[in-house]
Amino acid sequence: MKIVVVGDTLVSSDYMEKQAERLFPGHDKKIVKFDWEMKTKEEFQEVILDLEKNGPEARKLSEEITNELKDADILMVHFAPVSKATLDKAVNLKLIGTCRGGVEHIDIEAATEKNIPVLHVIRNAEPVAEFTLGLIYSECRNITRSHVSIINGGWRKSFPNSRYVTTLSELQVGLLGMGYIGKIVAGKLIKLGIKVKAHDPFINKEDLEKDGLGDIELVPLEDLFRNSDIISLHIRLTDETRNFVNMGLLSLMKESAYLINTARAGILDEKALVEVLAKKKIAGAAIDVFWEEPIPENHPILKLDNVTLTTHIAGDTVDAIPKAPKLLVNEMNEFFNNGKLDMIINRKTAENFKL
């Protein structure tokens, strides 16, 4: 079995190679490792944004990597692009694993056409879930606005949402998306005694009960936006979900409700969000992801007083990204040994998987 691993600035190829040695115990393995786009973290951020915005065709692998893929069985990457052109040359490829949740850098359609399962991991699920709770508290209780006021020499006591401020236990949180992160957020909220409802067309009550979340009620999409006091977004960005949360859904929200986004900016209609905030159609919003990063200096959202903004740091902890290959190999072994499909993006390809 030949395994090609491709590390980068954020994920060490040496550590990825070490973890690949644990892959599929009992099988003889030849591991070939590469480093791709080794830049400073600041420069690599541009690479990330390019891939997230423009897909796997935006960047290329070296000819050396491509040649090694011609007879490879397994490919493990972090952010290295896996385009259709690459897959056309990797004629023996049977499985792709990526050390992250997003798969914008992989041509999923091409992989599916070639019957190649693509497995990902939510490496920073716990950090993002924790950060989501932090944004909820910060926005609903004006923590950041009060801090800014003091720093600027003030002592502010009145805010745009002052007539709505209450304890979180009095509010109902609606989760759009009950994937890995959504479920962790739900579990944390429930432990805090907070009422939670959710919408996710891909899960059912039995799925929630297996995860100890049986108390959560699954509701129709419009009901979620109409009745929740806080809406938190936890869906993936795809062609189908781009601008999914549009003016139609935002206009259903209560004037006292809040919107939280730690997922992807593209799932939220930018102009619609700015409009409902500017016109005080909702109480406020807190977002960690933006349509262009860094956010332009003249962006209208910067003039609003009912929004909390953070610099796309929800998943940034010292251990989440570097240790992602360990999580990836664990999931790949679970898939191979026990048929676990939780982290397979294109599940139909897994039906006839063979090494």
Please enumerate in sequence order all residues whose Cβ is within 8 A of that of 303, keeping only pairs 6 or more positions apart, or say none. Answer: none
Q: Of 264, 270, 297, 347, which is the active-site residue?
A: 264
Q: Which residues pair with 98 in a beta bridge?
A: 77, 120
Per DSSP bridges, beta strands 118-120 and 95-98 are: parallel
Cα-based torsion angle of the residue sequence 265, 267, 269, 275 in order, rounded to the nearest 10 degrees: -70
- Listed residue (1, 16, 14, 190) closest to 97, CA to CA: 16
**CB count, 10 Å around CB of 353?**
15
The alpha-carbon radius of gyration of the chain (Å, integer) is: 22
Per-residue CA distances from 198 to 134, 151, 175, 208, 261 (Å): 19, 38, 5, 10, 15
DSSP conformation letters of 94-120: -EEEESSS--TTB-HHHHHHTT--EEE
Which element (helix H / strand E) includes 213?
Answer: none
Catalytic residue (choose from 217, 275, 293, 334): 293
Exposed/middle/buried for residue 28 (C-beta within 10 Å: 0-12, 13-18, 19+): exposed
Distance CA 4, CA 160 (A): 54
Based on the residue annotation, tell me whether 120 is a catalytic residue of this protein: no
The reply to whether 46 belongs to the active site is no
Of 312, 331, 334, 351, the active-site residue reads 312
| CB-CB neighbours of 38 under 10 Å | 11
Contacts with 20 (C-beta within 8 Å, 6 or more apart), sequence order: 3, 5, 29, 31, 74, 76, 325, 329
- Identify whether 236 is a catalytic site residue: no
Catalytic residues, which ones?
264, 293, 312
